[in-house]
Amino acid sequence: MADPLSEVIERIEQALDTPDPQAGVAAIMLEAVKDPAITDAISQRKKFANLQDLAIHRTDRLTLLAGSMPPGFRAAPHNHNLWSVVGVCAGQEDNQYFERDGDGLRPIGEASVVAPGVLPNPADVIHAICNPLDAPLVVLHAYAGDLFATPRSNWDPDTHEEIPFDWSKVRSSE
Ligand SMILES: [Fe+2]
């Protein structure tokens, strides 16, 4: 059987060529997160020492991250500098949004993405995420560019000091 992720990767790439690429990507991803074969495939992706290990696709115009985040998983405030679409295959992803405030950040809102669901984010979003449930959070995230070649930032979760993006300082577990 073909890798269930291969077809969706190709369809998301094709959606980038449509008139509203973010809406097109979100529509394909909503189908994908409802597909049990895709959820099963991503659920196996539990071990990741760094963010690159989550990448199932990486080109100049598209990065796809897919993996299973354990209960208690948290990512401290960070930006992407690329528009994105969050997809949740299983579980729930809680997003907290921020905006710059002087040298730091101030919270401006929250949104939960419950499986099966998707949430588009603009290129200038600053967010923190967590898995609030006592169950795995299985995600497929799309970014409109090469996420690993795009300069971006994260912010200390306590002091909100901005630093060049460092996944080891972003990721935490309870
Ligand atoms: Fe993010």
| pLDDT, greater one: 38 or 2 | 38
CA distances from residue 171 to 12, 78, 135 in whole angstroms, order as listed: 27, 11, 18
Q: Which domain holds residue 9?
A: 4-172
> What integer pLDDT is reported at residue 7 of this predicted model?
94
Centre of ligand 1 from the C-alpha of residue 53, in Å = 15
> What integer pLDDT is reported at residue 157 of this predicted model?
87
State mean pLDDT over 19-32: 98
> What integer pLDDT is reported at residue 1 of this predicted model?
47
Confidence of residue 174 (pLDDT cuts 50, 70, 90): low
Q: Helices 4-15 and 36-43: crossing angle, nearest 10°?
A: 110
Prediction pTM value: 0.95
Centre of ligand 1 from the C-alpha of residue 145, in Å = 14
Centre of ligand 1 from the C-alpha of residue 78, in Å = 6
State mean pLDDT over 39-56: 94
pLDDT at 3 over 90: no
> What integer pLDDT is reported at residue 14 of this predicted model?
97
Centre of ligand 1 from the C-alpha of residue 81, in Å = 10
What's the CATH code of the domain at 16? Answer: 2.60.120.10
Which tokens hold the place of 8?
A: 């969706």
Query: How many domains are there within the chain?
Result: 1
